[in-house]
Amino acid sequence: MMRIGVLASGRGSNLQALIKEWQEGRLAGDIVAVGSDNPQALALKRAEEAGIPHKGFPRSSYTSRQEQEQAILNWLQEQKVELLVLAGFMRVLSEEFLREFQKPVLNIHPSLLPAFPGLDAQRQALEYGVKVSGCTVHFVDEGLDSGPIILQEAVPVLPEDTEESLSNRILEVEHRLYPQAVNLVASGKVVRKGRIVEIS
């Protein structure tokens, strides 16, 4: 079974969806580590309740962001993480981190990339006036939400939508799509050919 690590900055509902699949025996891996840049994150509480090793890495404990990131990297390596899953982790991992870590890193983003990368993707979609949005699971590269796409699914944007209602509609899909993508990668069904991801 692949050893899966998760990084999350906040609420951790995507982490919870992964924990549920794991506890019900449907995840092609074991969640062995949950880290956060925010020691207050609800995600850490969820990990604790599930009996998963977890650790906060507050910026204030380190002299630089680089040092903070190195501490996260060291810990993930100590836990022998083989696949890293970003679940609402609101920091961009540096090129050095990705180069040193060497294992695949996944992210979920609440838009149909390459539309609306970065912060507040749902608000960006509403302000742009698109009629369809959704979510994307992709490999992380050194860019911002720019890595090769594994899975995407669309949801409608309705005339009466608020940021909250659209976010909730997308989130429901995220909770199904992320475990599915993690399973595809963890069971070796995903092949990367440059930007193109083939799923067998």
Which residues contact ligand GAR by CB under 6 A? 8, 10-14, 87-88, 108-110, 121, 171, 174
Question: Given the complex with ligand GAR, which of 8 and 155 has the nearer CB atom?
Answer: 8
Q: What is the smallest separation between the CB atom of 120 and ligand GAR, expressed in angstroms?
A: 8
Q: What is the smallest separation between the CB atom of 182 and ligand GAR, expressed in angstroms?
A: 13
Question: Given the complex with ligand GAR, which of 65 and 80 has the nearer CB atom?
Answer: 65
Q: What is the smallest separation between the CB atom of 146 and ligand GAR, expressed in angstroms?
A: 12
Question: Given the complex with ligand GAR, which of 14 and 68 has the nearer CB atom?
Answer: 14
Q: What is the smallest separation between the CB atom of 155 and ligand GAR, expressed in angstroms?
A: 12
Question: What is the SS3 assignment for the chain?
Answer: CEEEEEECCCCCHHHHHHHHHHHCCCCCEEEEEEEECCCCCHHHHHHHHCCCCEEECCHHHCCCHHHHHHHHHHHHHHCCCCEEEECCCCCCCCHHHHHHHCCCEEEEECCCCCCCCCCCHHHHHHHHCCCEEEEEEEECCCCCCCCCEEEEEEEECCCCCCHHHHHHHHHHHHHHHHHHHHHHHHCCCEEEECCEEEEC
Token pair recorded at residue 68: 């903070």
Question: Given the complex with ligand GAR, which of 40 and 74 has the nearer CB atom?
Answer: 40
Residue nearest to ligand GAR (CB): 88
Q: Which residues are catalytic?
A: 109
